[in-house]
A and B are shown apart, each in its own frame.
Chain A
Amino acid sequence: MNRIRSVFEKAASEGRSALIIYLCGGDPSAEDSVALIQAAFAAGADIVELGVPFSDPAADGPAIQLASERALAAGASLRSVLQIARDVRAESEGALLLFGYLNPLLAYGPAALSDIKAAGVDGLLVVDLPLEEASELREEAAQCELAWVPLVAPTTPAERADRIAKTATGFLYSVSMTGVTGGACESLGEAGARARKLSETSGVPVAVGFGVRTGGDARDLSQGGASGVVVGSAAVRAIAAENTTEARCAALGALVRELREGCEAN
């Protein structure tokens, strides 16, 4: 079974939400990324969402924009992010989900998905590829045995959410609020309950992200019934505040442990 699906089964059997941590590949350097991903796994992250930096991240708030800019300034690309994945995979069995925008994937060429799989990545989330545009890449992902993770938003009508959920082979990513990453979500409990309902009707795990920052937020979602909890901007900010690889790993580790406790507080 794909690592991503197994993660959710294991978490469910332990009566908790799965914890998913977003890190921007190459922020602030490729070496840092490898160490940070390992630190996230060691501290209890179930899945690392490995971001491919993009020059025009229109769905992201300031924290992830800046992470993307730092990574690009350090020379990051889809190629270098795949090297990060390979380096992580050489030492770890943690689940990796590649997260990014469509254009760098297109520019990489027809070998993109098979190279992503070969680098040890388990799944794919393309944030600017809604249902109507996704079928081609989704089929290719299926051929490469990459789990497909689509998004639903609070603005998505129920009937459309069901159709989107049917295409999920990893999990369904439910956006907690109408806004970009890193914004504030006022009712995570409600978002958790919406996730549980979606999960019950669709039969796929539903993780909630956007605006999740603290252990308390993770607890609210977990108790609301989310199968998974995604934290991005808060993780990126924790790293950006530190000056050495060790300090970055320590700060990330502390945040991940706090979030993991929240995920377990059922």
Chain B
Amino acid sequence: MTIVGSSNYDAVRGRFGAFGGAFVAETLMPALRELEEAFEAAWRDPGFRAELDELLTHYVGRATPLFLAERISSKYGATIWLKREDLAHTGAHKVNNTLGQVLLAKRMGKERIIAETGAGQHGVATATACALLGLECEVFMGARDVERQAPNVQRMKLLGARVRAVDSGAATLKDAMNEALRDWVATVEHTHYCVGSAAGPKPYPWIVRQFQSVIGTEARAQMLERAGRLPDAIVACVGGGSNAIGLFAGFLADSDVRIFGVEAAGEGLSGKHAAPLCAGEVGVLHGAKSYVLQTSDGQIQEAHSISAGLDYPGVGPEHAYLKDSSRAEYLSVTDEEALAALQELTRLEGILPALESSHALAALPAIAKQLGPDSEILVCLSGRGDKDLNTVLDALGMS
């Protein structure tokens, strides 16, 4: 069955056009099927949706505001609207997905939740949902990230989660995901794997997109109410791509709305970066066919970005489809440009954005220039930057 207006999603094959699928060990296939069926049933169930909506409203604080950022609007030369996911509980959009998945896991009778995390935001959001809903939580995190992101490690522990430092491979996010998959293969009967991005094998990209689509649904209604029209363009940062796909989902059918995804160019696309859509190739990683960073031999390469949340060599398959079909345009900005945008928003609007979200902000001058001064641009401010203070101060020589 193909769902029209939904990135040509083939639910049976789990494909967005040529991308997606389920490239995993056989042991996991029955669990993925079970998850897919449980999700479809829950998503159709008004009771489940009401329970989730109740949490999103009174626990997360949704709807998150749409803020007209006047000072950067005059600076960048277009009207800039910020979708304030940084104001959601736990400080980022990640909680939209973890509450949905943990609620679903509970409904499925699972007792234990595992998750992978890079910067720790998804780990914190998962631990939060588990604390609230009373499930056991174990978070896999690369040993290098455990060191780099110590405050989030402490937060997860306070929330009652176990944090497992992963030493294998390069000891970063992709290795944490490998280790979570390995754990899940052995514990699949009573454990749910709460994937944090719109990536991974079928049905994860679809599930995460649906749980995150609240961003786009709200933002679209808010734009119509506040601006009296749809934006000319929407912009979001793309690592695995969950905040972006959540925003984009609300506007895919609006063909006049241009869609921009912004990847991390790190030290530049000719050097170390995390921009598989802009400078990678098609491959298979963590269960899905999409764009990846790889050697000519098909070995996955380490990504680099100053933003740990974008530091991933793959990307969700729906983004690969949106790129190839030209429905969305993908750009990249460097570490340095993201840092400058972070400072600019902080100084001009009094909002300290996450380094991830700063990538979307950094693309605004170029997009505004392209669209002209009368244009309205909606940006997903996916998270707040408190977690990045050390990184930012180090990079700016202020620590």
Q: Contact residues of A with B, CB < 8 Å?
A: 54-62, 65, 69, 72, 77-79, 101-108, 127-133, 150-157, 160, 164, 175, 178-180, 183
- Residue contact A128 to B23, C-beta cutoff 8 Å: yes
- Any chain A CB within 8 A of the CB of B346? no
Q: Which residues in B have their C-beta under 8 angstroms from that of A178?
A: 27, 185-189
- What is the interface of chain B mostly: helix, strand, loop, or mixed? mixed
Contact partners of B296 in chain A: CB under 8 A: 107
The reply to whether A180 and B186 form a contact with Cβ atoms under 8 Å apart is yes
Contact of A127 among B22, B25, B168 (CB under 8 A): B25
A198 to chain B, nearest CB (A): 13
Partner of A155 from the list B23, B30, B181, B283 (CB cut-off 8 Å) is B30
B174 contacts chain A at the CB level, 8 A cutoff? yes
| Residue of B23, B31, B295 most packed against chain A (CB within 10 A) | B23
Given contacts A78-B298, A103-B298, A180-B182, A175 and B283 within 8 Å (CB-CB) = no
Query: At the interface, yes or no: B225 with Cβ under 8 Å from chain A?
Result: no
User: Contacting B287 at CB < 8 Å: which of A62, A72, A77, A128?
Assistant: A128
- A162 to B392 alpha-carbon distance, docked (Å): 56
Say whether B298 contacts A151, CB under 8 Å. Answer: no
| Complex-state Cα separation, A54 to B298, whole angstroms | 8
Contact B186 A133 (CB under 8 A): no
Residue in contact with A151 in the complex, picked from B25, B178, B287, CB distance below 8 Å: B25
**Closest beta carbon of chain A to B171's beta carbon, Å:** 12
Could you write out 7 A-B pairs with CB less than 8 Å apart?
A54-B299, A103-B284, A128-B287, A133-B21, A133-B22, A160-B30, A179-B185
A102-B284, A106-B284, A133-B22 are contacts. A65–B297 as well, Cβ < 8 Å?
no
Our pick among B174, B284, B298 for the contact of A128 (Cβ within 8 Å) is B284
Compute how far the CA of A175 lies from the CA of B29 in the bound complex, rounded to whole angstroms: 13
Contact A61 B300 (CB under 8 A): no
Name the distance in Å between A173's Cβ and chain B's nearest Cβ: 9
Whether B24 is near chain A, meaning CB under 8 Å from some CB there, is: yes
A56 vs B142: C-alpha distance in the bound complex, in angstroms? Answer: 14
**A58: B residues at CB distance < 8 A:** 24-25, 177-178, 181-182, 286
Measured in the bound complex, the distance between the Cα atoms of B179 and A62 in whole Å is: 10
B contact residues around A183 at 8 Å (CB): 186
CB neighbours of A150 from chain B (8 A): 26
User: Shortest beta-carbon distance, A105 to chain B, in Å?
Assistant: 7
Which residues in chain B, 21-59, are within 8 Å of chain A measured between CB atoms? Answer: 21-31
